[in-house]
Amino acid sequence: MGFADPASSASEDPNKSAPVGNDVIASARRWIKGDLGGRSELEALAAKGRSDAQEMLGELMGPSGPPALRDELAACGWFAKAAASRPDSLHNSALCAEKGVNGTPDLARAAALYGQAADRGYPKSMCALGNLYVAGRGVPKDEAKGAALCRQAAERGEPDAQTDLGNLYLQGIGVPHDVAQARHWYELAAAQGQPNATFVLGQIYWNGDGVARDQSKAAELWKAAYRGGRVDAAPLLATWLFTSWMSAHPRGDVTVLNEAIQYQEVAVRSVPEAKRAEAQTLLAVMQAARTTAEKEK
């Protein structure tokens, strides 16, 4: 499940083999904006056997859809209806089985469905099945086989698979430990906007793991990861920006300090409870520094 924007039809996505009609996209947009007529139109099309409408209903009601529309059980029902004709719906049905949306995870069924979608050429399912083999969930544990499946998907350009393969190389699971190979796959995934790859790539540049240490580049990667949903990049960015401002004080750009404070405010809200007091203390230090800087103008 990965609804983003109904403006992007499935025919434009290399991981989807069936198109989405413009009428389905228009109806989806209407429903997202609060017009229930859009939902009625989608359901009418779905009732006529339109698999693109069935898939869209599932996407909108799934966990990646708009919060106001979510109904995972109903979403899984729509995916099941479309699975015979759409490998993306088959993949999403496998996700439903893996998560146990109906109350009980069925990993063996998930593996079987991922395998069917992979056999139909759906790259995302190849690595999803591979991850089950790596962990031994629903299938016999076989790390090498799992890594090979993720490689197949990664070589087809699937960004999540590229990220997962990078993780396997970084940890030496199913493949030799190889930071250079990990970085290669992370870079390919990051170029497609995959936030997890972008985040880890930032860590690689921050620490200088197999590359020249480049904290400025790391920070830019963390910003991109943050925009992609990696909220845990916020405290890293806050610390980096505050340190940068302090090193330039007293002529440091207060906009840098303000940006650091904005990220730290996010950090206070998002860090685990055990680290919240420490995050709040750092935020107070930053705010006090801003007050002093403003007085010194």
Structure confidence by residue, pLDDT tens digits, 192-249: 999 999 999 999 999 999 899 999 999 999 999 999 999 999 999 999 999 999 988 7
Overall size of the chain counted in residues = 297
The answer to whether the CB of 182 falls within 8 A of the CB of 167 is yes
Looking at the structure, do residues 45 and 140 belong to the same domain, yes or no? no
Asked if residue 83 is part of any domain, the answer here is yes
Higher pLDDT, 6 or 85: 85
Looking at the structure, do residues 84 and 4 belong to the same domain, yes or no? yes
- Please state the rounded mean pLDDT for residues 129-141: 98
Q: Give per-residue pLDDT as tens, 243-260.
A: 999 988 776 788 999 999
- Distance (Å, rounded) from C-alpha 17 to C-alpha 83? 12
Looking at the structure, do residues 77 and 65 belong to the same domain, yes or no? yes
Tokens 């998002």 identify what position?
270
- At 17 the pLDDT is 54
Looking at the structure, do residues 19 and 87 belong to the same domain, yes or no? yes
Asked if residue 226 is part of any domain, the answer here is no
Domain coverage including residue 98: 1-118
pTM of the entire predicted model: 0.88
Looking at the structure, do residues 90 and 41 belong to the same domain, yes or no? yes
- At 163 the pLDDT is 98
Question: Dihedral sign, CA of 71, 74, 77, 78?
Answer: negative
Looking at the structure, do residues 214 and 246 belong to the same domain, yes or no? no
- Distance (Å, rounded) from C-alpha 243 to C-alpha 270? 21
**Domains contained in the chain, number:** 3
Looking at the structure, do residues 7 and 113 belong to the same domain, yes or no? yes
